[in-house]
């Protein structure tokens, strides 16, 4: 089934989130999956189980309580966000496998820039030398996935210092510019989206009998 990639440009977080909910509620077994590529104005988002104590300083950056998993994170200009509107039942993998596939797509994208990155089974996301460069937060409803990932490309990282990123005090955050990559969001998206599609479409491994 053909998957559509939507380029949303710069869009406010909350209307985009509501559009994700509406898309998911309206989809049927025949609805093609979509990837939404977007950049948000400054906003903090707090997951369903998120604790406001992880917001260390109140600023003029709005805080939105959302329905994804995870704690608090920051979105802002210069960060690439991709939302994965995926039929989870049709995919035929578990949640942990889907998270691993998304992480691997980001890791492969960074490898294309000569950056060695890794995931963490205990803390979803992608890291370079212990600093977080990409975050993941998903929601599964009615057998469908929405929300997705954020990859720091070329942004002001200061607002991350006013939170415990993803609920981890003292977690270092980095971005592609600090890692020596001078690329626009569009250029990075042009590499990341095909990697995501390859990862999503990878065949499900069948356990081998002994």
Domain ranges of the chain: 4-201
pTM over 0.75: yes
Q: Which ranges in the chain belong to alpha helices (H)? A: 13-26, 88-91, 95-111, 185-201
Catalytic sites, residue numbers: 166
Does 150 count as an annotated binding residue?
A: yes
Ligand-binding annotation for 147, yes or no, is: no
Per residue in 37-55, pLDDT (tens digit) is: 999 999 999 888 878 888 8
- The annotation status of 149 as a binding-site residue, yes or no, is yes
The model's confidence at residue 207, banded by pLDDT at 50, 70 and 90, is low
> What's the confidence (pLDDT) of residue 206?
57
Q: In whole angstroms, what is the distance from residue 46 CA to residue 64 CA?
A: 6
Q: What would the DSSP string read from start to end of 45-76?
A: EE-TT--GGGB-S--SS-EEE-SSSSSEEEE-
112 touches 192 (CB < 8 A): no
CATH architecture of the domain with residue range 4-201 = 2-Layer Sandwich (3.30)
pLDDT in tens, 73-132: 999 999 999 999 999 888 889 889 999 999 999 999 999 999 999 998 888 899 999 999
Asked if residue 185 belongs to a known ligand binding site, the reply is: no
Collapsing DSSP to helix, strand or coil, 121 comes out as: coil
């Amino acid at each position: 089934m053909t998957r559509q990639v939507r380029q949303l440009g710069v869009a406010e977080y909350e209307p985009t989130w509501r559009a994700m909910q509406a898309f998911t509620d309206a989809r049927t077994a025949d609805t093609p999956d979509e990837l939404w590529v977007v950049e948000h104005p400054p906003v903090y988002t707090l997951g369903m189980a998120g604790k406001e104590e992880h917001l260390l300083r109140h600023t003029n950056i709005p805080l939105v309580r959302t329905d994804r998993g995870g704690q608090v994170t920051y979105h802002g200009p210069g960060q690439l966000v991709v939302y994965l509107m995926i039929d989870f039942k049709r995919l035929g993998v578990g949640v942990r496998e889907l998270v691993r596939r998304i992480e691997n797509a980001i890791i492969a994208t960074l490898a294309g820039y000569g950056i060695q990155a890794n995931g963490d089974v205990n803390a979803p996301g992608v890291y370079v030398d212990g600093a977080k460069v990409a975050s993941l937060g998903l929601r599964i409803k009615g057998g469908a996935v929405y929300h997705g990932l954020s990859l720091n490309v070329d942004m002001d990282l200061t607002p991350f210092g006013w939170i415990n990123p993803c609920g981890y005090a003292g977690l270092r955050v980095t971005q592609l510019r600090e890692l020596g990559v001078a690329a626009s969001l569009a250029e990075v998206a042009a590499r990341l989206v095909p990697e995501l599609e390859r990862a999503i479409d990878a065949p499900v491994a069948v356990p081998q009998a002994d």
